[in-house]
Structure 1
């Protein structure tokens, strides 16, 4: 169907492009943090406020996307099937990430020759995190998914309870048929409102990235990397190998290029890099995936759930860093002890995304299963954990984006022509009103010839 009103969106001046603005913000933050660290530390509220603005609307984004998507589905059995396949996929891929981390740790040995004496380390700061590392049992985790009230789920901002409520409401609306049309219309209209608000908030991303990055450089300083630079470099290298190798192979098998996908979500990548939080890019990632032809119910189910269960970056971090602490303190680990770390990390890595520092807390809890590894050794990486947080969050986000496309492909809910158009940059804008707020319409595209 041809839309006469659809015209190519005029190219913006370079200084109005979001990812360019975010890059400038990060560059200015690094300079400020290096030359005026005391001032840079005071920029923290800018980053914190931006992340709070995003988190403020995440629950509404998930609710509108999932409810409107499921309510419009003809085959509701797909909802359960997609959820089940997604959880299986998450477990397989995150286990691969754990395995890659432990292999690289054994091959490159980033802690070898460090010869740190646990008795000389200041464990007081680590003990603070150790107190937070008590993990819920499986039963407690499952019961926590069900909120006390519907309002409580939105008030707390926990992702899984909001997904549960959204699936329930969407399921009921789909069964009510025409009687539910007024409600569906309100939710659909609300979806445009929420995503319009997201696009307004995203204009503040350069300021948010500036504030968060300035604080990181000002407080910890690039010099703090010093002797731990090899660990940070090893972690980033392992993350790149995982994204281009494992996720790249999955993407190729699904029928798209991981490189083109990374280019498509470059704004989200830079925002996560600047803020060290994958939450900051969740709403815009969901919007871009929907624009690229991934069905709304798939996006709404897979991406939010993946932020809890598909923690690829956190998985790499946990096994690699656990081996680093053991090597740095000259603690020899048997195969059985490494297997124990691997097994426990499969559980503790879940839920360690989105929040800066959550993976560090989970790692402290993981090390407790191998008493021979001194938890005080975690003090070695406490100062540079923030620099590793960016890579963790990036890999988590990219992994969830790939997972949504894979699930949609498996279920026949992927518009592949639209995906190719999005990844090749040939999308067309629609109305002038939408251009005013940069609100993404239902995209029109030019098929590749």
Structure 2
């Protein structure tokens, strides 16, 4: 399979435009101060377009993915092992990031806004869980406040379509078509991201002061350091688990092209050809690599798991909240698993997971989402490296545990 040459400007064009918008917006904020309130509606329009597109995008993405799974006895065992490996690496990466933010804490003095949190409805723990996981009317699924209920409903619809066999083919085609349409819609909306985020950043800098510019430096440094550590140390440990020193040598000797492709394209989907080629050279059986790598691109994201933890801890610090509570940390781990599943394999495609985290913790959406989006943009290259390259190392472990492969 041919691997396309990396074009830096083309691969990073979306990120460069976003960064350009943020920089220009920052300059406007510094120069004009609170007068930039006049362009704040541009940011509001962009956010509103994004909010309205997210709900149908989630439904079609998850429903289509589940409806298109192939079920055979041989793949059944592989699928179970693959899911366990995916979950293990996602949780391990999240725990590594939690350790990093505790060792190098993001101090609460960065708080740039003191706002009232959305009130949590009263009731027993059982009632709260029921409201979190389900909605008592269909139209309530269309609210971003019912994000987790929508995700569960979408899984069930996809599974019901899968169980319907040939009679469900027409509906499966509808899900596939809707999935593609909503992805294209998101791409169209994201064309306005440099203007929307630029306007928002101009507002933040102009209103809250130039000290905001230094807020992102420390979390970025912590994230990049933790990701580099995870990439070399834990990927090596995973390779040893897949087959000792031989597997270690096989993995790192064939890992250069997938790594460069991931960083160069900033897309897990675009890295699939390079991953499949590397997996073939590593000697991973075809039926393993052809299942794990394509499914891993949209469903398995170690880098996004780590960035999810970073964004949550950053928002907790931003709004002056304590992240050290054990239940808060456990909930964050649960969110990282969901984020890994619902995020698309496209550049800067983590907004679904960000909205989910903001909703679950009750942060004010209009202030929290742009901050999380800016962080997501800044950490995207190395996050994609872990997301995409993690599929190759996971395919090695799945091959070892299911096929007893030796290198």
| Shared fold (TM-score, shorter chain, > 0.5) | yes
2:283 to 293, 312, 316: 293
> Are 1:106 and 1:323, in contact at CA under 8 Å, matched by a contact in 2?
no
Structure 2: gaps of 5 or more residues: 25-68, 117-142, 163-167, 181-189, 202-209
> Are 1:311 and 1:353, in contact at CA under 8 Å, matched by a contact in 2?
no
> Are 1:298 and 1:408, in contact at CA under 8 Å, matched by a contact in 2?
yes
> Are 1:111 and 1:325, in contact at CA under 8 Å, matched by a contact in 2?
no
- Give 1:27-426 correspondences, 5 Å limit: 77-118=73-114, 131=144, 134-135=147-148, 136-144=150-158, 146=161, 148-149=168-169, 152=173, 156=177, 226-254=214-242, 255=244, 256=246, 261-262=251-252, 264-333=254-323, 334-371=325-362, 373-375=363-365, 376-412=367-403, 414=405, 416=407
Deviates more, 1:318-327 or 1:137-146: 137-146
> Are 2:106 and 2:219, in contact at CA under 8 Å, matched by a contact in 1?
yes
- Normalised TM-score (structure 1): 0.55
- State the match for 2:132 in structure 1: none
Judging by fraction of residues, say which structure has more helix.
Answer: 2
CA gap 1:244/1:158 in 2 versus in 1, 3 angstroms: farther
> Are 2:227 and 2:303, in contact at CA under 8 Å, matched by a contact in 1?
yes
**Aligned counterparts of 2:82 and 2:375: Cα–Cα separation in 1:** 33
Query: How many pairs were matched up?
Result: 297
Structure 1: gaps of 5 or more residues: 1-16, 42-65, 71-75, 121-129, 160-211, 417-449
> Are 2:85 and 2:397, in contact at CA under 8 Å, matched by a contact in 1?
no
> Are 1:82 and 1:407, in contact at CA under 8 Å, matched by a contact in 2?
yes
Three-state SS of the structure 2 residue aligned to 1:279 is coil
> Are 1:111 and 1:231, in contact at CA under 8 Å, matched by a contact in 2?
no
**Aligned counterparts of 1:157 and 1:93: Cα–Cα separation in 2:** 31
Query: Deviation of residue 318 (structure 1)?
Result: 0.9
CA gap 1:319/1:29 in 2 versus in 1, 3 angstroms: closer
Query: Deviation of residue 81 (structure 1)?
Result: 1.5
**Aligned counterparts of 1:18 and 1:92: Cα–Cα separation in 2:** 30
CA gap 1:226/1:381 in 2 versus in 1, 3 angstroms: farther
